Amino acid sequence: LLHTKFIYLSLIFHLLKQHAVCIPLHTLQRKQALHLKLHRRNSTREQLRMHHLFKQLPRAIIIGVRKGGTRALLEMLSLHPAVVKASQEVHFFDNDENYDRGVDWYLKKMPFSFPHQITIEKSPAYFITEEVPERIFKMNSSIKLLLIVREPTIRAVSDYTQVLEGKERKNKTYNKFEELVIDTKTCEVNTKYKAVRTSIYTKYLEHWLKFFPIEQFHIVDGDHLITDPLPELKLVEQFLNLPSRISQYNLYFNATRGFFCLRFNFMFSKCLAGSKGRIHPDVNLSIKEKLQRFFHPFNQKFYQITGRTFNWP
Ligand SMILES: *[C@@H]1O[C@H](CO)[C@@H](O)[C@H](O)[C@H]1NC(C)=O
Ligand SMILES: *[C@@H]1O[C@H](CO)[C@@H](O)[C@H](O)[C@H]1NC(C)=O
Ligand SMILES: *[C@@H]1O[C@H](CO)[C@@H](O)[C@H](O)[C@H]1NC(C)=O
Ligand SMILES: *[C@@H]1O[C@H](CO)[C@@H](O)[C@H](O)[C@H]1NC(C)=O
Ligand SMILES: *[C@@H]1O[C@H](CO)[C@@H](O)[C@H](O)[C@H]1NC(C)=O
């Protein structure tokens, strides 16, 4: 009896907690249940209209950066009852073939949403692809742009690690990180290597600024998002003009994974894919420091432009 009572009480406690921390349970459940139902069932346009569901173009796009934590950011933002996410990377603006299919094709790729909700998609290649800013500008010149970055050397190693894993899966050999980042002829940092170039954030951002004012960008600290997500998410909520709804209740640390999991409500939670926390190879210290010295001036410029300073070396 005592046991049953305990379960009962903890259930009520959870329900109360939901409300106390301002997550409207019904909204969340409705959001999930309805979406699933309508996707599984073969819903007609009429049924969708009845539920006031429709597809909307994104009001905000996570434009990058690759290995910055774009997936984690998108998943965490989708904890917000007013945010719906495009599950797949859409690659509309960076892929000519997709782009030629037109904005209607892009819209079709978006999830169903209620009128008060905003849609967000992420495609990390957008940040470094030259044609993208102008194309996004043509669609919506006042769109909000989210850029999540990590310390540039760590990001480069992470980028390398992902490519390495792909090669290993195909039983292909791959050069060591140290061999790729240093130009053997000059003994300087090899700026032809993509993992190095992508970490020169200011170079790409300056190109974006030819189309959008800096006010339309929000920079997310990807290193901070991993260790302490909530403060970063609150800043994004503000930037998107959304009421603050994501709370500590929605994010719980899983010690086994060493990473945060997402709790949508007392029934439904999920952890981000395990492959996201890859172990990086040990990098020769002197080469790591060389890279840090290389990125240093670009980082200073990045802080200056964005008004957001990081304690990168
Ligand atoms: C789903 O849609 C297809 C194509 O429009 C149709 O042929 C099929 O009968 C529908 N199935 C159900 C269960 O409504
Ligand atoms: C463009 O994006 C802004 C910012 O999210 C939004 O307020 C506006 O409604 C969008 N315009 C169109 C035409 O979608
Ligand atoms: C890679 O090599 C391993 C061991 O030699 C083998 O078992 C595996 O099938 C290979 N994988 C591919 C994709 O060739
Ligand atoms: C924590 O992570 C482990 C390993 O991925 C998983 O088996 C377990 O279910 C997770 N626990 C919770 C409470 O999410
Ligand atoms: C690290 O790289 C430097 C410069 O290439 C080299 O002199 C040094 O021996 C390397 N250290 C280790 C531990 O491999």
Q: In this structure, are strands 251-254 and 259-263 parallel, antiparallel, or unpaired? A: antiparallel
Whose Cα sits closest to atom 2 in ligand 3? 171
Measured from the CA of 287, which atom of ligand 5 is nearest? 2
Ligand number with the minimum distance to the CA of 44: 1
Please tell me the predicted confidence (pLDDT) of residue 18.
38
Identify whether 67 is a catalytic site residue. Answer: yes
C-beta atoms surrounding 117 within 10 Å: 20
Would you list the domain boundaries of the chain? 2-151+202-283
pLDDT tens for 191-248 read: 999 999 999 999 999 999 999 999 999 999 999 998 899 999 999 999 999 999 999 9
Alpha helices in 101-253 (DSSP H): 103-108, 132-139, 152-169, 177-181, 194-198, 201-208, 222-227, 229-239
Mutate to test the pocket of ligand 3, among 165, 169, 170, 171 (most ligand atoms within 8 A of CB): 171
> In CATH, which of 2.30.130.60, 3.10.20.310, 3.30.230.10, 3.40.50.300 is domain 2-151+202-283?
3.40.50.300
Task: Quote the strand ranges of the chain, DSSP E.
Answer: 54-55, 60-64, 83-85, 112-113, 118-122, 144-149, 217-221, 251-254, 259-263, 269-271
Q: Ligand 3: distance of its center to the CA of 284 in Å?
A: 29
> What's the chain's Rg over C-alpha atoms?
22
Q: In this structure, are strands 54-55 and 112-113 parallel, antiparallel, or unpaired? A: antiparallel
pLDDT tens for 77-122 read: 999 999 999 989 999 999 999 999 999 999 999 998 888 899 999 9
Whose Cα sits closest to atom 9 in ligand 3? 171
pLDDT tens for 167-187 read: 989 999 889 999 999 998 999
Rounded to an integer, what distance in angstroms lies between the CA atom of residue 252 and that of residue 74?
Answer: 17
Measured from the CA of 271, which atom of ligand 4 is nearest? 14
Please indicate, yes or no, whether the overall pTM of this predicted structure exceeds 0.95: no
User: Would the pLDDT of 43 be above 80?
Assistant: no
